[in-house]
């Protein structure tokens, strides 16, 4: 009996060493943790339950039968984050470069199936050289099985990908279908075709970092939602994100203890909006002052900065925030900001997270570049996302809300539940100057008349009261009371139930 027990421990020790000490040391020299070290940091201490530690590949081509490491390059199992269950797989670059074989993929699929069946998030720690070439189409089939599970799990359980090393070719499409993608600066990259192929086909000289590094994907492509300095920071931030999310689409988001008064007034908000309508201010200041303890978890901070997305808590409950940012492009909507916000709104709606929309938008960005690249279709994505969302929706207009952008930003007409406006808000078809020049075209040569008409238009329309008279604004509120009014609005909406007409699924303008 002792011999059998000793053999088990010997086998376990060998499996835990992955590709051996030399390769572990090489991983550490690159500033990267091993697959098991990452899991230890991600999960609560002692909570990890590993599965399939002894699985090996079945390939016999190219002499592969002589090298059959236990675990086959991926560590899988479940554990807890602050006491709440999550499933996790962590690719081990020290074992055959973390390459994906048929059995490697089967291990991942098994964990994803369990996550869906048991209603818990799945977190993938990606660090892989790609498909295992020695296995040919079996490896590709394995990828396909993983992709199908990403699709089936979408909207059922939260899926989070952390790119902690190379992720190239077909490997990028699994993370691309998950809800959140995070990268590690300088040690991770994602691309469909690498620098060598790019050089051969298009004759472009580009480094791996320029082509698919963290900076590229957080600022230019919007593929990644955030980038962190190292493995430790990335895993700590994933733990923080999971705390905001429900375990699945049938559960409500977690409620955390809070130590912040719901009735807290913020007198500084009364002077947040400058007297000059063209002077910018930082919308993040409003978000932080509304949130419990000023805690705000921003998503896609580096991309399309003219719109802000992220999570706060109100009375301990998770709320998704979408807010125009007057500091960047005057808070205008464009292709990138519409896509960014639409994706976020749809995620919140999938998982029952209420949405707070803070509006200061002068309209859509004009120009040939926007029109040629389809701003109509992309803008419609945000419109569609808000209109189909059935979660509680509260909107606060702080200043400008003009034209079609007024409608798009969670207006009453898109079934928003509670719409507030500050006294500084201006809700109209367009700005006073532009409107006057159209309405009083005949007086364009007379500066005094135009000035008088502009002042008249501002008095009549550059305020929230016309919309309030129509019932499109539920209440004009004092800025300092925003936290209290918004918190009470969401409290009143906690039992909201709203149905959509039966359909197989919608056809959002992609």
Strands (E), 414-510: 418-421, 426-428, 475-476
DSSP 228-288: ESSHHHHHHHHHHHHTTS-SSTTSPPPB----S-TT---GGGGGTS-SSTT----HHHHHH
Report which secondary-structure segment, H or E, holds 320. strand 317-324
- 325 contacts 284 by C-beta, under 8 angstroms: yes
Structure tokens at 340: 């960014």
| 434 noted as active-site residue | no
Q: Which of 155, 170, 352, 434 is catalytic?
A: 170
Region of 421 (left: φ > 0; alpha: ψ -120 to 50; beta: rest) is beta
| 153 noted as active-site residue | no
Q: Which of 119, 316, 404, 434 is catalytic?
A: 404
- Distance between first and last Cα of the chain: 62
Number of Cβ atoms within 10 Å of the Cβ of 263 = 10
What is the β-pairing status of strands 226-228 and 307-314?
unpaired
Of residues 316, 336, 319, 339, the one with CA closest to residue 328: 336
| 387 noted as active-site residue | no
| 130 noted as active-site residue | no
**How many Cα atoms within 13 Å fall on the side-chain side of residue 508?**
18
Q: How far is CA 75 from the centre of its chain?
A: 25
356 contacts: CB under 8 Å, gap ≥ 6: 290, 312, 314, 319, 320, 321, 322, 394, 395, 396, 486, 490
- The C-alpha R_g of the chain, in whole angstroms, comes to 26
Helices vs. strands in the chain: H and E counts, helices first: 19, 17
Exposure of 367 by Cβ count < 10 A (0-12 exposed, 13-18 middle, 19+ buried)?
Answer: exposed
- 114 contacts 153 by C-beta, under 8 angstroms: no
- 300 contacts 325 by C-beta, under 8 angstroms: no
Q: Which of 169, 212, 331, 379 is catalytic?
A: 169
382 contacts: CB under 8 Å, gap ≥ 6: 333, 338, 339, 341, 342, 345, 408
Q: Which of 323, 380, 405, 416 is catalytic?
A: 405
* Catalytic residue numbers, as ranges: 169-170, 404-405
């Amino acid at each position: 009996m002792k011999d059998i027990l000793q053999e088990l421990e010997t086998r376990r020790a060998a499996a835990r060493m992955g590709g051996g000490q030399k390769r572990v040391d090489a991983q550490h020299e690159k500033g990267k943790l091993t697959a098991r070290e990452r899991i230890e940091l991600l999960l609560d201490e002692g909570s990890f339950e590993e599965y399939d530690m002894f699985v090996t590949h079945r390939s016999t081509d190219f002499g592969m039968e002589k090298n059959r490491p236990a675990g086959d390059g991926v560590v899988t199992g479940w554990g807890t984050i602050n006491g709440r269950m999550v499933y996790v797989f962590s690719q081990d670059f020290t074992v055959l470069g973390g390459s994906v074989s048929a059995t490697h993929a089967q291990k991942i699929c098994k964990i994803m199936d369990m996550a869906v069946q048991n209603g818990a998030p799945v977190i993938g720690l990606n660090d892989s050289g790609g498909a295992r070439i020695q296995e040919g189409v079996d490896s590709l089939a394995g990828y396909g099985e993983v992709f199908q599970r990403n699709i089936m799990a979408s909207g059922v359980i939260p899926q989070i990908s952390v790119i902690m090393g190379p992720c190239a070719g077909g490997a990028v499409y699994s993370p691309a279908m998950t809800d959140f993608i995070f990268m590690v600066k300088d040690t991770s990259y994602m691309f469909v075709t690498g620098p060598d192929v790019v050089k051969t086909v298009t004759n472009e000289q580009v480094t791996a970092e320029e082509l698919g590094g963290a900076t590229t994907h957080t600022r230019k492509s919007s593929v990644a939602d955030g980038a962190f300095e190292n493995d430790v920071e990335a895993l700590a931030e994933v733990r923080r994100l999971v705390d905001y999310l429900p375990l699945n689409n049938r559960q409500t988001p977690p409620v955390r203890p809070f130590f912040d008064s719901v009735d807290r007034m913020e007198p500084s908000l009364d002077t947040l909006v400058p007297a000059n309508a063209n002077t910018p201010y930082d919308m993040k200041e409003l978000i932080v002052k509304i949130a419990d303890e000023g805690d705000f978890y921003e998503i896609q901070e580096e991309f399309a900065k003219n719109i802000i997305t992220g999570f706060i808590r109100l009375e301990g409950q998770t709320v998704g925030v979408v807010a125009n940012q007057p500091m960047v492009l005057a808070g205008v909507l464009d292709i990138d900001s519409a896509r960014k916000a639409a994706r976020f709104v749809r995620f919140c709606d999938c998982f029952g997270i209420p949405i707070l929309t803070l509006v200061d938008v002068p309209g859509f960005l004009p120009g040939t570049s926007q029109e040629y690249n389809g701003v109509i279709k992309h803008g419609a994505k945000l419109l569609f996302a808000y209109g189909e969302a059935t979660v509680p929706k509260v909107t606060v207009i702080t200043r400008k809300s003009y034209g079609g952008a007024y409608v798009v930003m969670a207006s009453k007409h898109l079934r928003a539940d509670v719409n507030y406006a500050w006294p500084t808000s201006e809700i109209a078809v367009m700005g006073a100057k532009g409107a006057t020049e159209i309405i009083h075209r005949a007086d364009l040569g007379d500066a005094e008349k135009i000035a008088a008409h502009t002042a008249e238009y501002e008095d009549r329309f550059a305020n929230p009261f016309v919309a309030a008279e129509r019932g499109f604004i539920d209440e004009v509120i004092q800025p300092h009371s925003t936290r209290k009014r918004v918190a009470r609005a969401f409290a009143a909406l906690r039992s909201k139930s709203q149905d959509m007409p039966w359909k197989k699924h919608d056809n959002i303008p992609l």
